[in-house]
Amino acid sequence: MKITDLKTTLVSVPHTEPEFISTGMRKGVTQCLIEVETDEGVTGLGESICRPNAPVIEAAVQSCKPLLVGSDPNNIEAVVNNIRHLGNWHFFERVGNVAVGGIEMALWDIVGKACGKPLYELLGGMVRDRMPIFYYLFRFELDEMERRAKQAVEDGWQLIYFKVGHDIHADIEAVEAVRGAVGSKAGIRIDANEAWTPGAAVRFIKQIEKFDVEFVEQPTPAKDFDGLAHVRRATNTPIGANQTSWTLQDVLEVVKRDAADVIVTDQYTTGGLLNYKKAVAICEAAGLPVNHHCWGELGIGTAAGAHMVASCPPFLYANQSYVMIHEDDIIAGGLPKIENGSIAVPRGPGLGITLDPDRVAAAAQRYREQGEFPSRLAHDKVDVTIIPKF
């Protein structure tokens, strides 16, 4: 079997409500749909997140086409190695990993379809048949956050997740309010998205420790490994490393420095499912759990993440997903169905999903007519700074 072509389509899907985080907001996602075709009529589906933006990622993916066409899609390690080194993406790893993450996903889909096996079987077999996910609670007035958190628990969700990092006093009040609303029936996880200095993170976390937060995700800047390790040593609440775990080497560095209690990563930051599996193995050897990270991906990327979670023991906590906040999807059947805070792992060959041509056409038209949903829009009346505040 040989690869004959690579096609890309930029698609935009709105959120049901605007998402606010410490560094800005966004109203939807624009993703790069990837289709890798072969001479045996098997087409693999992939999805790349559009970070930093859609034109950059589509260009990065298309730049890999000469290294793909004529290659055997079964030789995933070799194909990806050529893209990284002959394509020079190892020098520009963060953008390169995002592009490779989507391309390699399509190769796995081809291999699974060709042999009639679901991806989780190719990755080692199934240790769980559903991917537990969190309930994403947006920031509203406290009474509305309490109402939504209570309803989520009644609907079967076991973990409430929300963003912090914009106002330390309001964040403390939000944690207290949500814990009061759910009692001991659900866990709480918060994500600061690099909002604080190590000192500010320690100050904040010590004040919320009585509310039994499951873990605090990325409280300090991405490249400050020592700062993250300091926060972990100085507090009793578990610490999650996300932006600090951007690459396979970053994951190893976090482990070596004992800087986190849980690693939060994905197939885009590590540069593909194969590298993702290697990152999980590093964590497993170190006795660390892993949490699947989400960039707002649609059904293709969500399916890939579910196969990884299904095949690896260290995914011990509710994982990230934006399924509950997308208005629609581009796969047949629309948005994956959520039951009791989890998504079923697809059982069909490869990724186990197919495209819905009408949904793809509508999402592609939205991109053409309205442009992309930026990954960040500025908050109103926010001072721009690269230095976190106390």
The pLDDT tens digits of the residues spanning 238-257 come to 999 999 999 999 999 999 99
Of 303, 221, 315, nearest to 263 by C-alpha is: 315
Beta strands in 150-289 (DSSP E): 159-163, 187-191, 216-217, 239-241, 262-265
Percent of the chain with pLDDT over 70: 97
Task: Compute the distance between CA of residue 213 and CA of residue 200 in angstroms, rounded to an integer.
Answer: 17
Decide if pLDDT at 353 tops 60.
Answer: yes
Of residues 27 and 388, more confidently modeled: 27
Decide if pLDDT at 387 tops 90.
Answer: no
Reported as half-sphere exposure (CB side, CA atoms, 13 A), residue 211 has a value of 25
Residue 380: per-residue pLDDT: 59
Q: Which of the four pLDDT bands, split at 50, 70 and 90, describes residue 377?
A: confident
**Phi, psi for residue 334 in degrees, rounded to 5:** 75, -150
Residue 382: per-residue pLDDT: 46
* CB count in 10 Å sphere of residue 339: 10
Decide if pLDDT at 142 tops 90.
Answer: yes
Q: Residues 77-120: pLDDT tens digits?
A: 999 999 999 999 999 999 999 999 999 999 999 999 999 999 99
* CB count in 10 Å sphere of residue 136: 20
Cβ proximity of 140 and 173 under 8 Å: no
* Of the listed ranges 202-206, 270-274, 377-381, the one predicted with least confidence: 377-381
Q: Residues 43-80: pLDDT tens digits?
A: 999 999 999 999 999 999 999 999 999 999 999 999 99
Decide if pLDDT at 24 tops 60.
Answer: yes
* Of the listed ranges 123-127, 224-228, 382-386, the one predicted with least confidence: 382-386
Of 384, 337, 332, 329, nearest to 28 by C-alpha is: 329
Give the mean pLDDT of 359-374. 96
- Residue 25 belongs to what H/E stretch? strand 24-38
Q: Which of the four pLDDT bands, split at 50, 70 and 90, describes residue 384?
A: very low
Task: Compute the distance between CA of residue 78 and CA of residue 160 in angstroms, rounded to an integer.
Answer: 41
- Residue 6 belongs to what H/E stretch? strand 3-21
Q: Which two tokens stand for residue 179?
A: 């814990």
Give the mean pLDDT of 224-240. 98
Residue 390: per-residue pLDDT: 60
Of 20, 21, 23, nearest to 386 by C-alpha is: 23
Percent of the chain with pLDDT over 90: 94
Tell me the β-bridge partners of 26. Answer: 19
DSSP 74: T
Give the mean pLDDT of 333-347. 97
Task: Compute the distance between CA of residue 369 and CA of residue 371 in angstroms, rounded to an integer.
Answer: 6
Q: Which of the four pLDDT bands, split at 50, 70 and 90, describes residue 376?
A: confident
Q: Name the average pLDDT for the chain.
A: 95
Cβ proximity of 247 and 93 under 8 Å: yes
**Phi, psi for residue 232 in degrees, rounded to 5:** -60, -40
Task: Write down the pTM of the prediction.
Answer: 0.96
